[in-house]
Structure 1
């Protein structure tokens, strides 16, 4: 992290926190005079903390500098070295987090602006919180109370879907939003394509988890009891996947028990059946080369997801198909994607289901330092 930037933030914030090796910020109680600035940012964080992130790692930390300025950091101990080596998808998550802050600030009469650090990727070589952006609030006419509440309503549904596709008008609206950001959003309800995607995702997921580094990295984020999920407030809770906690634990921590062909076949069927009722898949293509691209993609994805939420619809990302080179190529070939549209960077199933369980999130005081 740039020393000059850090010293500026430390002085502006009047903070006594120190960045110590192997630690996140050392917390400190603020004087009563500083309660109001903290309260405003805490109110925004109470919405933004529900932003999605890869495997629910929630890497964000926020340091209040004044009533209208804060420093956003990321915690390198929460990064995914093996499953997100370029940090693209974690930066997308940070972009979604910033977009949630922006949406939450609207009804309070503020616009939010972000001045970003120059680093092209996140720093995996340290355990000390790293500066990501300075966030500034500027006055504007109040807007978007309803949009703000959608942030807390949004969920990922990995449940059975009910066989319905999104209405054509909603598809067109979502595609138009993506186009405003320079991306192309496409849908398919063709049974051949839907089945191809569901089968490809199942096969790729198991292939990826056969790789020890990937499996061990994900195992760190597996939560297999309600008590563990509620205590840790992050990661992948088995109830959100609809799988028994013991099965999920054994798969990640005792993978040797699942090497036989017949067990793999049964487990594959169990996972594939969890996507029953899926009638539609969708994918996004567009610029995806730089930090700026990833931040823009995050802001756009947050907007798309909230619009789905407004209409009572859900999505379920299939990240393995995107990041696995062989599966990625197979999908591109099957759908005959046009390279001129940019690379495939998101693939999902979308539709309608019962209300899914909501994964836990870090509390405001866990983020606000």
Structure 2
């Protein structure tokens, strides 16, 4: 029978904490903190980092925490331990998202190791993609990854449906851009060149003005009222990539956390095959547009993320807060 030493168990906890901090989150807010008691890691939502205007319900915050939870679970498996996970374990502590205990020794399979190797390599893309196609077999695999977490990923194939999603994204972005509160909240998380902050979106992480896709998916205006951002080649269009909707049957806090876990599982599998994702949450932050998507394109399920998958050769650095700021 496989055994593990106390030192190996301690190393597994450290690896889980390190993996948790590399999860994606809206505007790279990193809205989480960790604590360790014995052999149990607690994941808490950092409500001070919630977007008060854009994410008043906390849905996007919990999706980010769900992604961190999936990393913690996977890192423990990679270290040779079965995670013992409890989601929202204490009704009297709503910010306690989950606890993950170090369970019985086990041998990680090749697939687990594949996902675990992408924690730090995965990147969010904020522009169009190259014309290289995403293999259909990989798209099918991504659908299966989400299904493993009880969540649905549906590729949007029909050109008319893709245009609808793009149009809703543009409409939401235009409305939000006219709202000073939204704009100020976005640029709060846009980092100036040379910033030493370990959160937010660095100036090199988004184009000053993105080359248009067809149909055009509106990007967040991180360059609002300043000249930060990277240069983009405006002489040619960029590929939209594969548009997909991530949906859940319910819309509870548990569903949001499950959506985050499924999203990260999908992103890590995509990253392992050289595929990146761009996110568009603008329409999901406006009740009527989200309801329209749910009724017309999501078969009554609740849309939790709009994503585009594609291939890009950008290799931008990612910024993360150090563990010393995250762990009690």
Q: TM-score, structure 1 length as denominator?
A: 0.72
Could you tell me how far apart the structure 1 residues matched to 2:189 and 2:100 are? 29
1:130-279, aligned counterparts within 5 Å?
130-143=95-108, 144-225=112-193, 227-228=194-195, 231-243=196-208, 251=224, 276-279=238-241
Matched, 1:55 2:3: no
Cα distance in 2 between the residues matched to 1:191 and 1:232: 41
SS in 2 for 1:204: helix
- The CA deviation string for residues 157-204 of structure 1, in whole angstroms up to 9 with x for no partner, is 123311244222222222233334443322134444444433442342
Partner of 1:281: 243
The answer to whether structure 1 residue 299 and structure 2 residue 272 are counterparts is no
Structure 1 residues 86-125: aligned runs within 5 Å: 86-115=57-86, 116-119=88-91
Partner of 1:23: none
CA distance in 1, matches of 2:79, 2:242: 38
Q: 1:63 to 1:286 in 2, by over 3 A?
A: closer
- Is the 1:71–1:133 contact (alpha carbons within 8 Å) kept by the matching residues of 2? yes
**8 Å contact kept, 1:157–1:316:** yes
Question: In 2 relative to 1, CA 249–204 (structure 1 residues): closer, same or farther, beyond 3 Å?
Answer: closer
Q: Kindly tell me the number of residue pairs found equivalent between the two proteins.
A: 304
CA distance in 1 between partners of 2:246 and 2:234 (Å): 23
CA 274–90 in structure 1, closer or farther in 2 if over 3 Å, else same: farther
* Aligned CA-pair RMSD: 3.1
Aligned counterpart for 1:72 among listed residues 43, 66, 84: 43
Structure 2 CA distance for partners of 1:182 and 1:271, relative to 1, 3 Å: farther
Q: Secondary structure, in 3 states, of the residue corresponding to 1:186?
A: strand
Q: Structure 1 residue 138: deviation in Å?
A: 0.9
Cα distance in 2, alignment partners of residues 38 and 55 from structure 1: 32
| Secondary structure of 2:117's aligned partner | helix
Write out per-residue CA displacement over residues 244-264 of structure 1, whole angstroms, 9 at most, x where no aligned residue. Answer: 7xxx6762579xxxxxxxxxx
For the 8 Å contact 2:246–2:259, the answer to whether it is kept is: no
State the secondary structure of the residue aligned to 2:16.
helix
Matches of 1:184 and 1:193, distance apart in 2: 17
Q: Deviations over 1:283-303 (max 9, x none)?
A: 122224212111211111111
The secondary structure found in structure 2 opposite 1:150 is coil
Query: What's the counterpart of residue 266 of structure 1?
Result: none
Q: 1:76 to 1:48 in 2, by over 3 A?
A: same
More helix by percentage: 1
Shift of 1:317: 1.0
Report if aligned partners of 1:224, 1:249 keep a CA contact under 8 Å in 2: no
Q: State the distance in 2 between where 1:40 and 1:279 align.
A: 37
User: Of the candidates 320, 324, 328, which is equivalent to residue 361 of structure 1?
Assistant: 320
Partners of 1:150 and 1:91 in 2: CA distance: 21
Write the distance in 1 (CA, Å) between the matches of 2:297 and 2:69.
34
Q: Equivalents in 2 of 1:78, 1:162: separation in Å? A: 34
SS for the counterpart of 1:136 is strand
Cα distance in structure 1, aligned partners of 2:182 and 2:235 = 24
Q: 2:279 aligns with which of 317, 335, 341?
A: 317
Q: How much does 1:103 deviate?
A: 0.8
1:84 to 52, 55, 60: 55
TM (norm. structure 2) is 0.81
Contact 1:61 1:75 in 2 (8 A): yes
- Contact 1:117/1:132 (CA < 8 Å) preserved in 2? yes
Distance 2:278 2:180 in 1: 25
